[in-house]
A and B are shown apart, each in its own frame.
Chain A
Amino acid sequence: MKIVVCIKQVPDTTEIKIDPATGTLIRDGVPSIMNPDDKSGLEMALQLKDEKGAHVTVITMGPPQADLILREAYAMGVDRAIHLTDRKFAGADTLATSHALAGALRKIEFDLLITGRQAIDGDTAQVGPQIAEHLDLPQVSYLEDLKFDGDKTFTMKRHIEDGYQMLEVEAPCVVTVLSSANTPRYMNVGGIVDSYQKEVEVWGFNEIEVDEKDLGLKGSPTSVYKAFARGLKPAGELYEVGTDEAVGIIIKKLKEKFILN
């Protein structure tokens, strides 16, 4: 079985601060990490490799420093790493990103394509499903678990709002995985020692199959109108009164706000 996992380098948002004046992220000194949902997806691929034997490729699109997460993936046990990087990809929103990734994926043979559900920097959850549409492949999003019958069929457990769906899907297909699905393994020390000896294939526009108008800023219908930090809520009004009086005050306030009439 051949598996490809899409991974993204993101700022560790648990350590991020917002500049209150400009409403933008303060990126200085914030560590970059492999997106948690993607790492969970990578673990899913590596478990399939451990159990059934599989060839695992990781692919990322990003600036040169995104090389780090590909080395990390090598140290976790993947077989091949591809870095999509080109000035033509710059300024891409989710649609242009998914076009570039799909362009690269047309050049790679796979039975299963895994992406994380969403990245912690943008939180859109769009790129995985968009890739599936571009490649015209069946997709299952919000995956909790996946089993392979050893031939052609995957049994999948998909998280939905009030429960789970159990699905059987034939390869090739695309899945998006939740971070709660797997606890990613640690990098192996021997794998770390070898990680920079291995080749990361760097692909640009010329290496992929895509229409140039679908890439970068030109291919991005999204534009950011305004970014702002959510203001702090005021402390509120405090009353120290009995229950009956309290109910009266609450009803009066709700009427003032037209929540009750």
Chain B
Amino acid sequence: MNFSLTKEQELFQQMIKDFAEKEVKPLAAEVDDLERFPAETVEKMAKIGIMGIPIPKQYGGAGGSNVMYSMAVEELSAVCATTGVIVSAHTSLCAAPILEFGTEEQKQKFLPKLASGEWIGAFGLTEPNAGTDAAGQQTIAVEDGDNYIISGSKIFITNAGFAHVYVILAMTDKSQGTRGISAFIIEKDTPGFSIGKKEKKMGIRGSATCELIFENCVVPKENLLGKLNKGFGIAMKTLDGGRIGIAAQALGIAQGAIDETVKYVKERKQFGRAISAFQNTQFQLADMNTKTEASRMLVRKAAYKKDAKLPYSVDAAMAKLYAAETAMEVTNKAVQLHGGYGYTREYPVERMMRDAKITEIYEGTSEVQKMVISANMLK
């Protein structure tokens, strides 16, 4: 049993905290306010290897661990949850399934450019009528000679428009339900593929969230990811990994809100003393910190198990469920401790509370996580 970071992880934490503080934090309020995708930050992250942390060196990645990757999403999200989810969706939902399920040719073609950050990645499963119920997919892919012709649409797609590579799911055999879904790799300039409406969101407003439209989109057969009709399993395994990323994002948001609150309560004076001197403040902070530290243990454990190639699906579900609910609770308390100022955009906790909410919803709602956790208990 060992709760310590390795020396490499300590060095990495020092670097990523410094990077987040100097390069990411100064833009956080602006990208939220203007709903602006921070492309310049992505470029800086690409330059030092943050866009390919757990991708092996042979495919141009940093050859780091999932623990390191989760630490990166945590530290980026502590100052800007938008930046955290850009890295998480890119890494966990696009590069990771190509690494795990792709052919050698697909890995050689896509991974070096994704890992270097030259290309950004995205993932498309959700549709207007198929969210948690993934079997309700209406996007279809029909075989046509050397190609598949894809028709339909996807919604709420993170990094859409800025991504070059999209891993998407489509029905290849409607009669088979989840056993008739396949995964495909789509490049942005594929004929018949376009980006639709951009969502206006409550939080993570700098991250691009758009519709994907497929109108007789011609995808070469070599872009089928994994085996035909095995796409549902690929999607579920991809989301297991993605949940570590989102749990790390939620953890980061909570920690960021704590950091801001500790600073504020020491400065803010009421009744002649700093509000940190009041026991209510102290007890609230103690609860916030304990739950956030518990979230960190769950996130690190799930990432560690993925690195150790142990089953981690339930661990990832528990980490995401707990970290997301903690982020919501902690940011809510952070706003309360800031009082009226906390409700304004003068202080970052207002943004953090809006950002926290999505972590209870995307990549499997909290309810889905409970289904995963309890199903494993009752099997």
Q: Is the CB of A190 within 8 A of B62?
A: yes
Bound state CA distance, A72 and B11, in angstroms? 7
Segment 1-58 of B: residues with Cβ below 8 Å from A = 7-8, 11-12, 14-15, 18-19, 48-50, 52-53, 57
- Least CB distance, B251 to chain A, in whole angstroms: 20
Name the CB-closest residue of B to A75: B11
Q: Is the CB of B64 within 8 A of A189?
A: yes
Q: Tell me whether A193 and B63 are in contact in the complex, defined as CB-CB below 8 angstroms, given that A71-B11, A188-B48 are known contacts.
A: yes
Q: Indicate whether B206 reaches chain A with its CB closer than 8 angstroms.
A: no
Q: Indicate whether B342 reaches chain A with its CB closer than 8 angstroms.
A: no
Q: Indicate whether A195 reaches chain B with its CB closer than 8 angstroms.
A: yes
Q: Indicate whether B124 reaches chain A with its CB closer than 8 angstroms.
A: no
Q: Is the CB of B48 within 8 A of A187?
A: yes
Main secondary structure of the interface of A (DSSP, over half): helix
Segment 203-252 of B: residues with Cβ below 8 Å from A = none
Bound state CA distance, A237 and B289, in angstroms? 46
Q: Indicate whether B61 reaches chain A with its CB closer than 8 angstroms.
A: yes
Bound state CA distance, A195 and B15, in angstroms? 13
Q: Is the CB of B48 within 8 A of A193?
A: no
Q: Indicate whether A68 reaches chain B with its CB closer than 8 angstroms.
A: yes
Q: Is the CB of A190 within 8 A of B7?
A: no
Q: Is the CB of B11 within 8 A of A190?
A: no
Bound state CA distance, A246 and B335, in angstroms? 49
Name the CB-closest residue of B to A31: B14
- Least CB distance, B64 to chain A, in whole angstroms: 5
Main secondary structure of the interface of B (DSSP, over half): helix
Partner of A195, one of B11, B52, B53, B61: B11
Q: Indicate whether A181 reaches chain B with its CB closer than 8 angstroms.
A: no
Chain A residues near B57 (CB-CB < 8 A): 190
Q: Is the CB of A193 within 8 A of B8?
A: yes
- Least CB distance, B14 to chain A, in whole angstroms: 8
Q: Is the CB of A186 within 8 A of B63?
A: no
Name the CB-closest residue of B to A197: B8
- Least CB distance, A219 to chain B, in whole angstroms: 33
Name the CB-closest residue of B to A183: B22
Chain A residues near B14 (CB-CB < 8 A): 72
Chain B residues near A188 (CB-CB < 8 A): 48-49, 62
Q: Is the CB of A187 within 8 A of B7?
A: no
Bound state CA distance, A190 and B52, in angstroms? 9
Segment 185-213 of A: residues with Cβ below 8 Å from B = 185-196
Bound state CA distance, A194 and B61, in angstroms? 12
Name the CB-closest residue of B to A68: B11
- Interface membership of chain A positions 66-77, coded 1 if the CB is closer than 8 angstroms to chain B and 0 otherwise: 001001100100
Chain A residues near B61 (CB-CB < 8 A): 190
Q: Is the CB of A189 within 8 A of B62?
A: yes
Chain A residues near B53 (CB-CB < 8 A): 189
Partner of A187, one of B15, B63, B64: B15
Q: Is the CB of B15 within 8 A of A75?
A: yes
Bound state CA distance, A10 and B324, in angstroms? 39
Name the CB-closest residue of A to B13: A192
Chain B residues near A195 (CB-CB < 8 A): 8, 11
Q: Is the CB of A186 within 8 A of B7?
A: no
Bound state CA distance, A185 and B61, in angstroms? 19
Bound state CA distance, A71 and B14, in angstroms? 12
Q: Is the CB of A189 within 8 A of B49?
A: yes
Name the CB-closest residue of B to A67: B7
Chain B residues near A189 (CB-CB < 8 A): 12, 15, 48-50, 52-53, 62, 64, 68
Chain B residues near A196 (CB-CB < 8 A): 7-8
Q: Is the CB of B11 within 8 A of A186?
A: no
- In the A-B complex, list the 8 residue pairs whose CB atoms are closest, starting with the nearest: A189-B49, A189-B62, A190-B62, A187-B15, A186-B48, A192-B12, A193-B64, A193-B63
Supplied contacts A72-B14, A186-B15, A193-B62, 7 more A-B pairs, CB within 8 Å: A68-B11, A71-B7, A189-B15, A189-B52, A189-B64, A193-B63, A193-B68
Residue contacts A-B, CB under 8 angstroms, 21 given: A68-B11, A71-B7, A71-B11, A75-B11, A185-B48, A186-B15, A186-B19, A188-B48, A188-B62, A189-B12, A189-B68, A190-B57, A190-B61, A190-B62, A192-B15, A193-B62, A193-B63, A193-B68, A195-B8, A196-B7, A196-B8
